[in-house]
Amino acid sequence: MSDPLGLALTILALLLGASIVTACCAGRTFKRAAHWPLIVACGSSAVLALMLLARVAALETPSLVSDPVTWFAAGKLSVNFTIALDPLSCIMLAMVTFIATWIAIFSSGYMHGDGGYVRYFAVMSLFVFSMCGLVLANNFFLLLAFWEGVGLCSYLLVGYYFEKPSAAAAARKAFLVTRLGDTGLIIGVFMLWRLTGFATTDIATAFDIITKTVTDHPERLNELTIALLCLFCGAVGKSAQFPLYVWLPDAMEGPTPVSALIHAATMVTAGVYLVARCAPLFALSPTAQITVAWIGGITAILAAFIAMAQTDLKRVLAYSTVSQLGYMFLALGTIGAVAPAYAVTAALFHLFTHAFFKALLFLSAGSVMHAMGNVIDMRRFGGLRKVMPVTHITFLCGAAALAGVPLLSGFWSKDMVFESLYLGAEGNSPHTGSLFILLLVGLVTAGMTAFYTFRAYFLTFWGEVRIPEEAGHHAHESPSAMTIPLIVLAIGAVGIGAIVEPITHAFSDFLARTPRLVGAEEVHGFNWGLAGVSALLALGGIAIAYMCYGKGGPEVVPAPLEPFYAASRDKLYVDEVYSYSFVKPAEWLAFMARVFDLLLDSLARLVSAVPRLFGAAVRPIQNGLVQFYALSMALGLVVFLTFIVLKIAR
Amino acid sequence: MITLWHYLAVAAALFGIGLVGFLTRRNLITMFLCAEMMLQGVAINFVAFSRYHGNLHGQVFVLFIVAVAACEAGISLALFLAIYRRGRTLDVSTWQSLRERGVPLSVDDVPLPIAPPTEPDPVLTPAGARPPQSIAEEAVRV
Amino acid sequence: MTLFAANLNPATGQMLLALLLAACGFVFLLPQPRGRSVAGGIAALIAAAAVFGAWLQESFGKPLPDMIGTVLFYFFASGALGSGCVLVVQRNPARGAIAFAFVILSTCGLFLLLAAPFLMAATVIIYAGAIVVTFLFVLMLSHQDVVSDENDRSREPLLGSLAGFAFVGLVLFTLYQEHLPTAKLPPLPAQVITPHEQVQLDAVAAQLAELQAKLHSESKPTSEELTAQLTKIEVELGNVVGLPPTNQLGFEDDGSLMRRLQIRVKDAQGERKEEADPQAAAVLARSVALRDLAYTTFRDLENQPPLTSDANREAALRSLLALRNEVRLLSTAGDLPARNVGNLGLVMYSEYLLAVELAGTLLLVATIGAITIAHRKGARA
């Protein structure tokens, strides 16, 4: 246990073991105890991950790579099983296991009495395992394998209620849409492999080789740019960025804790992590950077706009996740414009705080849903302040953090994103204009974020008490298995940001020690003006929301704003556009293929009819009489032998 | 003087007669005996050639033929018993359910001749019992 | 017949007639509900048997020096074939089984004539003792006293008979064709030579074949090689059959075979001339003939070296082939019945050991299989 790498492998083994134990051993007898393996494994993993954090921080150079073990080899391609520990992966690991632990505890209350209890926890364990493996992997193909594992688990969990057609469709959509991105990722990985001169697929080594290659041969920069854009395709799919974000809102069909896990800890952060992990390469290619930034910016404002008129509480949160992920990519897009360490720190810090408050918000929404009898439409309930006091307070904490209310976690991290953009726009990068525009976009989005968050809050918790009939007599506060995780996460959402960054700078200091990330010295800046603007915008958004929705629902929309409202409510018709531009042509193509297939089939049937007719003619000789068969055999032999004897006889 | 050819000719005739029996007779047991007869024809061939060549390989082969025939006899006896228990008949044509779908069951056209009524076996009266006879007959006998 | 290269002569016609008659007989005799004619069938079969016997005698038979052997052969052969016919046409399967027993007994007689006493005993024990009894047991299970489908009907009597006898006809025709050019083949020979001599003779035959192949091939051997090999063969052959009185080596050698057989023949002749061992005498005569043939052949080869001209080579090949055939015939002369059982055991447990083991395993498996199949499951049956 002394070896940090051993600790990391122990974490993986614990989680995988939990999954297997749950799947195999939890039969009917232990069905009610199916949540224990996950909780125990996650909890101990979280403790181990924190120990690991301390260990790695104490190291001189905080980077450890395990001895490569050949996983498989084919021709020139040799894929190793090897893991790497550095501040980036340590932070991710700790965050993932910590959040997952509380979500697991919450799940044991939320999923209580559900039919697929065992399946749920088995797949959850596998999900966390895949994410931890993804974070630790030090080989592109190993990373790819865990990446697909994450995709598979998300498919299984989103489609958890598979008997519901909408859930099945959502799972399929999530899988197929992310698949689109994954294709890019695979191509990108192979291109990177080519860039290393087919030498290695280990991430750390590949970075060094590629950096050297591109520095020595500037003409190969284009190749690298294409490879990085392909990689980014994978990130866009997995992290639900424009134009592939459409699966995420539909993924709300899964159980709410699953949404929390997908949004906060496991699935969507994979894309951000991938780009952050490849930051040394992105730093070489300005085109790739600005593409990342633009995609992030577009996603952020688009999703925020859509979120403003959604009536489904979980969908509001889902779009807000998309929007916040856009922020992270915005920060990552400044890798070249500012020091890579700064950009990565900004993105990861936002990811970190976002994990807390988004998990909190989803779990609170789940708590509301639990109490309301699985109704999540904000038009049908309201004024739950009195009914669910704990949930109300925790949701408020999360909403305030998300909105960027000063001094809460979200405020600090969002501010860091803006600062990185601002520094980028001020600096001497070739895309300063773009970065400035994107800064404005980010600020506008911040205001919109505050507005839609508090709109949801007011609609849910303020005004008259309205409870849907599905809730029956269950409209009460949730059990302690659900409220305790809420409280813990709420404390995290409120305080963790301030503790780790502006007060101690522990986060950025630690992260900046990641090998191959340069520019650590620029990290500690604080731009009062920018912070003030963002705080003003956040408070302004909240104020507008209060003015509009302070009395609770149902909401009234002024006539001049009606078109905008409709556009937002209908998600800017993106799904319809996709349907007409991609799905319908594909269906038409499929139809034509079917017609063609039928033509071919009939041709084949025509050919096959000949032997069939012949068969019908000779079928009567198959009369089942043994002696008839023997007689035919003997006669045939006689004819054959007669020919032979008379032909070759002298 | 008897040459190899004589034996071969007789063996061929024995084989052919067995073949005819196997192809035409419908009793499973008769069919089996005919098959054994074909084996005997082959055995004569082997022994004759063995004699002709002056070595013993042919005779060894015949020994193996005998061994295989014994196995065959055991297995087929068991099979006949099993079949007989199912259908109460040893007619090989009873079992034609493996024919192609749509092919009609083959039935025998010509009816069998009616067997002459067999006389019932005589029954002895147990000792000491009075045979069931009428008083009148009794009187006649006395 | 241009399509077929066969020559059809009156003998073949005779054979075809016999087969047709036999087929007709079977068609008449096979049990059928209608159109069965026992008298006609028997008549046809007897006619067929007469024609067949005549054909057999005419085609293969020679003047009869061995009267008893011939009579016994015809007795057993007709017994086997006649009983076989009874088995095939008999309606009652129990009687058929008895006919089968007679087939077996007749076959055993033929085995004895062929000097296979062990096989005779084994066949009698296994078939007559085991199989027939077993089948009588089975027959007791079925009812034979009523008219039934299985016993009183035949499937396709005409086609079946034709198929069977066409088969016989093919075999006989082939035999006849094979028989024609080698009509002077000796009767089944008696063998008095020891296995060691047999091995030596076989080696000589193999060397002769090798020599022939060498002469035949493109790369001709040198004359020194040829002479060396010829001398080697001559010496080896001389070890068995001896050297003729007038040879180049200047001395006479009898060879192992000659020495041994001369004693046997002389001993027998000493007392009563007519009781001389005919087989030994025959082998002796053959070996002397072989000795002389070998001598002339080798001298010819020396006088007309085969390497000098093509004509010489052809002649050498021809004479070598003749010599090889004679050597082979001598080495494969039949064995004496008295030594049959022991030799059979020797062959079986030396050359066919694996096959014997496999046959034993097969028997065991068959036993288990029979028990399993015949086992009455539960109280269902």
DSSP letters spanning C117-153: HHHHHHHIIIIIIIIHHHHHHHHHHS--SS--HHHH-
> For A409-454, what is each residue's pLDDT tens digit?
888 888 888 888 888 888 777 788 888 888 888 989 998 999 889 8
Residues C53, C59: Cα–Cα separation, whole Å = 10
**B76 within 8 A of C373, measured Cβ to Cβ:** no
Element (H, E) at A69: strand A69-74
Question: Going by C-beta distance under 8 Å and a sequence separation of 6 or more, which residues neighbour residue A186?
Answer: A144, A234
- Specify the length of chain B in residues: 142
Whether pLDDT at A247 is above 80: yes
Q: Can you read off the two tokens belonging to residue C25?
A: 């007989």
Which residue shows structure tokens 């028989």? Answer: C179
Confidence of residue A76 (pLDDT cuts 50, 70, 90): confident
CA distance C13 to C149: 38
pLDDT tens readout for residues C55-80: 887 777 655 566 788 889 999 999 99
Pull the structure tokens for residue C162: 């034709």
Average pLDDT estimate for A213-221: 87
**pLDDT value at position C266?**
56
- Most confident of the ranges A116-120, B49-53, B69-73, B106-110: B69-73
Q: Residue B92: its chain A contacts at CB < 8 A?
A: 625-627
Tell me if B3 sits within 8 A of C187, measured CB to CB. yes
Terminal-residue alpha carbon distance, chain A: 92
Q: Which residues contact B22 (CB under 8 A, 6 or more apart)?
A: A627, A630, B31, B34, B35, B38
Query: Which residue from A367, A329, A311 is spatially nearest to A565, judged by alpha carbons?
Result: A311
Higher local confidence (pLDDT), A409 or C360: C360
Q: Given pLDDT bands bounded at 50, 70 and 90, which one contains residue A381?
A: confident
The radius of gyration of chain B's CA atoms, rounded to the nearest angstrom, is 26
CA dist., res. C13 & res. C210, Å (int)? 43
- Integer CA distances (angstroms), A357 to A137, A360, A403, A484, in order: 27, 5, 10, 15
Mean pLDDT for A82-109 is: 88
Tell me: pLDDT of A520 over 60.
no
pLDDT value of position A620: 84
Name the least confident of A57-71, A102-116, A324-338, C186-200.
Answer: C186-200
Please tell me which residue, C146 or A522, carries the higher pLDDT value: C146
Strand partners, A78: A73
Return the closest-CA partner of residue A385 out of A374, A375, A373, A371.
Answer: A371
| B 42-71: CB under 8 A from C | 43-44, 47-48, 50-57, 59-60, 62-64, 66-71
In this complex, do A619 and B102 lie within 8 Å of one another by their Cβ atoms?
A: yes
Specify the residue for token string 């590949």. Answer: A206
Decide: C237 and C204 in contact? Cβ < 8 Å: yes
Contact A423, A525 (CB under 8 A): yes
Chain C: closest CA distance from residue B100 (Å): 20
Residue A618 contacts B, CB cutoff 8 Å: no
Q: How far apart are CA B94 and CA A19, in angstroms?
A: 60
The CA distance from B39 to the nearest CA of chain C, in Å, is 11
ipTM: 0.82
Q: Rounded distance, CA C84 to CA B33, Å?
A: 10
Residue C268 predicted with pLDDT over 50 = no
Confidence of residue C184 (pLDDT cuts 50, 70, 90): very low
Residue C131: pLDDT band by 50, 70, 90 thresholds?
A: low
CA distance A324 to A401: 12
The chain-wide mean pLDDT, for chain C, equals 77
Q: What is the mean pLDDT of residues A456-478?
A: 77
Q: Cα torsion at A616, A620, A623, A628 (round to 10°)? A: -130
Share of chain C above pLDDT 90, in %: 16
Count of A-B CB contacts under 8 Å: 39
Residues 6+ away with beta carbon under 8 Å from A543: none
* Confidence band for A546, pLDDT divided at 50, 70 and 90: confident
Cis amide prior to A389 (ω within 30 degrees): no
Please tell me which of the candidates C96, C161, C359 has its beta carbon nearest to residue B33: C96
Assess A624–B contact: CB distance below 8 Å, yes or no.
yes
Q: Which has the minimum average pLDDT: B79-93, C30-44, C323-337?
A: C323-337
Statement: residue C147 has pLDDT above 80: no
> What is the least distance, in Å, from the CA of C23 to any CA of chain A?
15
Tally of CB atoms within 10 A around C61: 17
Question: Using one digit for the tens of pLDDT, what is the confidence trace for A615-641?
Answer: 888 888 888 888 899 999 999 999 999
d(Cα A332, Cα A283) in Å, to the nearest integer?
10
Measured in Å, how far apart are chain C's first and last C-alpha atoms? Answer: 62
| Cβ atoms of A493 and A378 closer than 8 Å | no
**Residue C178 near residue B15, CB atoms below 8 Å:** no
Cβ pair B81, C374 in contact under 8 A: yes
Work out the pLDDT band at A524, boundaries 50, 70, 90.
low
Average pLDDT, chain A: 85
- The answer, for C379 touching chain B at a CB cutoff of 8 Å, is no
Residue with the larger pLDDT of the pair C107 and B120: C107
Model confidence over A561-585: pLDDT tens digits? Answer: 777 777 777 777 777 888 888 888 9
The set of long-range contacts for A636-642, using a CB threshold of 8 Å and a minimum separation of 24, is A637/C167, A638/C163, A638/C166, A638/C167, A638/C170, A641/C167, A641/C170, A642/C166, A642/C170
In chain A, how long is the greatest CA-to-CA distance?
118
Residue C97: half-sphere exposure toward Cβ, Cα within 13 Å: 21
CB contact under 8 A, B23 and A622: no
Measured between alpha carbons, how far is A89 from A80 in angstroms, rounded to an integer?
A: 18
User: Comparing C-alpha atoms, which of A214, A351, A205 is closest to residue A288?
Assistant: A214
| Token pair listed for B13 | 């005739």
Over 90: is that where the pLDDT of B96 sits? no
Q: What ranges in A111-164 are assigned the alpha helix state H? A: 117-136, 140-158
Of C15, C11, C37, C13, which Cα lies nearest the Cα of C24? C37
Residue C21 to residues A578, C26, C43, C161, Cα–Cα distance (Å): 90, 9, 9, 11
- Pair A450, A541: CB distance under 8 Å: yes
The answer, yes or no, to whether residue A28 has pLDDT greater than 80, is: no
Question: Is the minimum CB–CB distance between C189 and chain B shorter than 8 Å?
Answer: yes
Contact A204, A236 (CB under 8 A): no
> Is the pLDDT at B41 greater than 90, yes or no?
yes
Burial C226-239 (b: 16+ CB within 10 A, else e): beebbeebbeebbb
DSSP assigned state of B130: P
Task: Compute the CA torsion angle A395, A398, A400, A404 (nearest 10 deg).
Answer: -160
User: pLDDT band at C187, cuts 50/70/90?
Assistant: very low
Q: Are C344 and B59 in contact (CB under 8 A)?
A: yes
Mean pLDDT of A282-293: 88
Residues of chain A with pLDDT > 70: what percent?
95
What radius of gyration do chain C's Cα atoms show? 28
In this complex, which of B4, B30, B118 lies closest to C96 when CB atoms are compared?
B30
Encoded amino acid at C377, one letter: K
DSSP structure class, residue A610 = H
Q: Is the per-residue pLDDT at B57 higher than 60?
A: yes
- A108-122, A149-163, C30-44: the lowest-pLDDT one: A108-122
- In angstroms, the CA A141 to CA A73 distance is 11
CB atoms within 10 A of CB A624: 16
| Angle at which helices A165-195 and A221-238 cross, to 10° | 160
- Going by pLDDT thresholds of 50, 70 and 90, the confidence category of residue C248 is low
Is-contact A88 A239, C-beta < 8 A?
A: no
Structure tokens at C167: 């088969």
CA distance A530 to A537: 11
What is the C-alpha to C-alpha distance for residues A426 and A437, in angstroms, rounded to an integer?
A: 12
* CA C83/CA B8 separation, integer angstroms: 18
How high is the pLDDT of residue C271?
46
Whether pLDDT at B90 is above 50? yes
Predicted local distance difference test score (pLDDT) of residue B17 = 94
Give the DSSP per-residue string, A198-214.
Answer: S---BHHHHHHHHHHHH
Chain C 123-162, residues with CB within 8 Å of chain A CB atoms? 155-156, 159-160
Q: Which of A366-370, A378-382, C109-113 has the highest mean pLDDT?
A: C109-113
Distance (Å, whole) CA A586 – CA A563:
31
- Cα–Cα distance, A545 to A405 (Å, whole number): 14
DSSP state of A435: H
Pairwise CB contact (< 8 Å): C155 & A631: yes
- pLDDT average, residue stretch A469-484: 75
Which of C3, C155, C170 is facing A645, going by the closest CB pair?
C170
Name the residue with higher pLDDT: C272 or A517: A517
Minimal Cα distance from B51: which residue of C?
C334
What are B25's strand-pairing partners?
Answer: C154
